[in-house]
Structure 1
Amino acid sequence: MAAAVLLGLLLARRLPDASPPPAAAPAAVPVVAKEAAARRDAIMSAAAGRQPQAVGTARADSLRGTDVDGGVRVDAQGRVVRDRELRRLFDYFLARLGERSPERIREDLLQWLQQQPQLDAAARAEVVALYDRYVELQRASAALGNGADLSADLQRLRELRERELGRELAQAWFGEEQDYAAQTLARLAVARDASLDASVRDRRLAEIDASLDPSQRAARSDSTDFQSAVAQSRQFDTADVSAAQRAEQRRQRWGDAAAVRLAELDQQEAGWQLRLQAYAQAREQVFADRSLSPAQRDSRLARLLDDFSDAERRRVLALADEGLLPH
């Protein structure tokens, strides 16, 4: 089971053309401080009157070909149920921030709501009002910033959510992940406590893990497996370990099937790096050609991306913006 989940995580996180996996409970402290950072940055830009930078506006659509995630439930009286599924619906539409304007995204949501037969006009209006509150909350959350004390950051975020949404709605939308984040911070504090001997530390960590529900314990285990596999692959790359040695060590640790799939991932990653290098070289040649007008340069740069999928284009352009393309 661990090997199967590990491969799923690797497929989702290492391959350049992989679709993002469904949102999971946070497995590390940075989730507390950076939750939905890209989405919130875009919301802040919109709130300040700036349009987010679009990537490949004519073609980019991160939701193309996907089913709507989340949904709207109503109770026996036709009132909207304010549950986690509703927040997932909002997150689904907000995934287009940077590709579409905030106003267009709101219109997309409204159009989708109008196609739901279980919702009358009053229910649709309530959902849109809740969406507006959620967007404002995300903007305010981003404005909080991050401090040196992660526990204090989490507490400030919790208080903001309860102040903006009320305790009941804040718990419905964020309670599970906040509790998990708090447990993660407690675990980190124990792990870093140099005054504890190994046996006491292990016992306290086990007590914290015992307070998690089964799905959260599985998420922590899966995250550990993923991190271990990535670290192992990096060690292999640094030491220039041969394919045969990699396969043998992986078989011993993860099993035969996982070793085979990890080897395939190595090959795909190597192919991605070659494509990225070719793009970087061609891009440099375009910028070096002083005979090109700005329009001609932009056209050639756009054509260089034709061989990449939409997801790959976003990754390539992000690497270019950050100056991280290979030389």
Structure 2
Amino acid sequence: MMKRSTLAFTTLGLLIGAVGGLYYLGSQTEESTVPRAPQDPYAFVRSLEGTRTDGDLKTGPGDDLVLDAELTRMFDYYLSALGEKPLPAIIQQTELELSRKLSPKAAAQARRLFANYLDYKRALIALDSNPQYAANQEGKQAAALRARFQAMQAARSRFFSASESKALFGFTDAYDLDAIARIEVSEDKQLNAQQKQDKLAQIDAAMPPALREEREAPLRIARAEEQVTQMRAQGASEQQIYQFRAATFSPQAAARLAEVDREEEQWKQRIADFLQQRARLLAGPGDEAGKLAALQTLRESKFSAQELPRLVAYEQ
């Protein structure tokens, strides 16, 4: 089944997502990206149909929980259901998943961090109500963003130790600081165009390796997929394409991209089947109102709530 962040449509963004987690958050070895049927009875909420829980949780020496960004990815996966489920139900489901994936000792550590994470999120809601941190004034966006970042760090220190904060949020902090620094350069009216270019080059040079990997990955993936397209046009087998991707990225990434390819083919077939049934329905007997109602029923029987908005492009 798919990760929540992976949709059943092959785009460059999807390919980046399929490879990206392997670059930056550690490779995952679970079976992935086999889409569920619409109206999956096992989904926690409707919007999570066809997805798999985010977060590749691990235990280390002494059965302790390994702290990294995968943990917050799992928390956010379930918290995204707010509005469809009340918070107590989300907390219960998250804790059940922690108990399922981890040993008792590691699960207890993760539950404590989850409770702290919820408190931290509440603190951020209060922080964002402060107009001081609204980055909506031209020429002052960087100052507001940096002030918010510092306030966020102060709030976080109430709920996490320095080591916990670095492990859980280190990558996103680096990403935020890099973005703020670039906005500061763009807003600096004392710099001419060449000086701004030089400043941005300095920021590039100081970029952490993981962040550099993320910025460069889209271009690398795009080039690789152009090569894949050429290989297919020349009659390459799927095994040859897998071997090319494995050598370019990793075996895990190659497997994920192969799943993306399969998803795209499944999606195309589902669309083709739907359009055939749609054409027969519209050409058949009955008044217009009845046909429109039947068409909506057909849509909802064939596609999930997440997929329905994307049918518009195919029905025009």
TM-score range, shorter chain: 0.5 to 0.7
1:87 counterpart = 2:72? yes
Amino acid corresponding to residue 147 of structure 1 in structure 2: A
Report 1:120-139 matches (<5 A).
120=105, 123-139=106-122
Q: Does 1:107 align with 2:92?
A: yes
Residue from 9, 12, 17 that aligns with 1:10: 12
Distance 1:105 1:190, change over 3 A: same
Of 46, 52, 55 in structure 2, the residue corresponding to residue 66 of structure 1 is 52
Normalising by structure 1, report the TM-score.
Answer: 0.52
| CA deviation map 1:47-100 (0-9, x unaligned) | xxxxxxxxx897725264526522142442x44344333323323333443443
- Report SS of the residue matched to 1:125: helix
Measured after TM superposition, the shift of residue 256 of structure 1 is 5.7
Residue 208 of structure 1 and its aligned partner are, at CA, apart by: 0.7
Distance 1:124 1:147, change over 3 A: same
**Contact kept? 2:20, 2:217, Cα under 8 Å:** no
Pairing partner for 1:204 from 196, 199, 202? 199
Deviation at 1:210, TM superposition (A): 0.9
Describe the SS at the equivalent of 2:82. Answer: coil
Q: Which letter does structure 1 place at the counterpart of 2:89?
A: R
Distance 2:110 2:60 in 1: 11
Within a 5 Å distance, the mapping from 1:244-263 to structure 2 comes to 257=227
- Taking the aligned partners of 2:95 and 2:40, their CA distance within structure 1 comes to 22
| TM-aligned CA deviation for residue 203 of structure 1 | 1.9
In 1: Cα distance, 2:96 partner to 2:297 partner: 32
Q: Percent same amino acid at aligned positions?
A: 24
Contact 1:113 1:119 in 2 (8 A): no
Letter in 1 for 2:193: A
> Does 2:301 match 1:306?
yes
Instruction: Give the Cα–Cα distance (whole angstroms) in 2 for the partners of residues 142 and 57 of structure 1.
Output: 32
Q: 5+ unaligned residues in a row in structure 1: which ranges?
A: 1-6, 26-55, 230-252, 283-287, 292-296, 320-325
Report if the CA contact (8 A) 2:75-2:114 is conserved. yes
Q: Tell me how large the CA RMSD over aligned residues is.
A: 4.9
Contact 1:57 1:99 in 2 (8 A): no
Shift of 1:190: 1.5
Q: Which SS does the other structure have where 1:196 is aligned? A: coil
Aligned to 2:214: 219
CA deviation map 1:269-293 (0-9, x unaligned): xx99xx9xx9xxx9xxxxx98x9xx
Contact kept? 1:80, 1:126, Cα under 8 Å: yes
Judged with a 3 Å threshold, the aligned counterparts in structure 2 of structure 1 residues 72 and 90 are, in CA distance, closer, same or farther, namely farther
Asked whether the 8 Å contact 2:69–2:168 carries over to 1, the reply is: yes
Q: Does 1:147 align with 2:134?
A: yes
Q: How does 1:172-183 map to 2 (within 5 A)?
A: 172-183=167-178
Q: Distance in 1 between matches of 2:107 and 2:224?
A: 49
Unaligned runs of 5+ in 2: 1-8, 25-38, 136-143, 231-263, 283-287
Give the Å deviation of 1:131.
0.9
CA separation of 1:171 and 1:255: change in aligned 2, threshold 3 A:
closer
Query: Would the aligned equivalents of 1:93 and 1:105 in 2 still touch at CA under 8 Å?
Result: yes
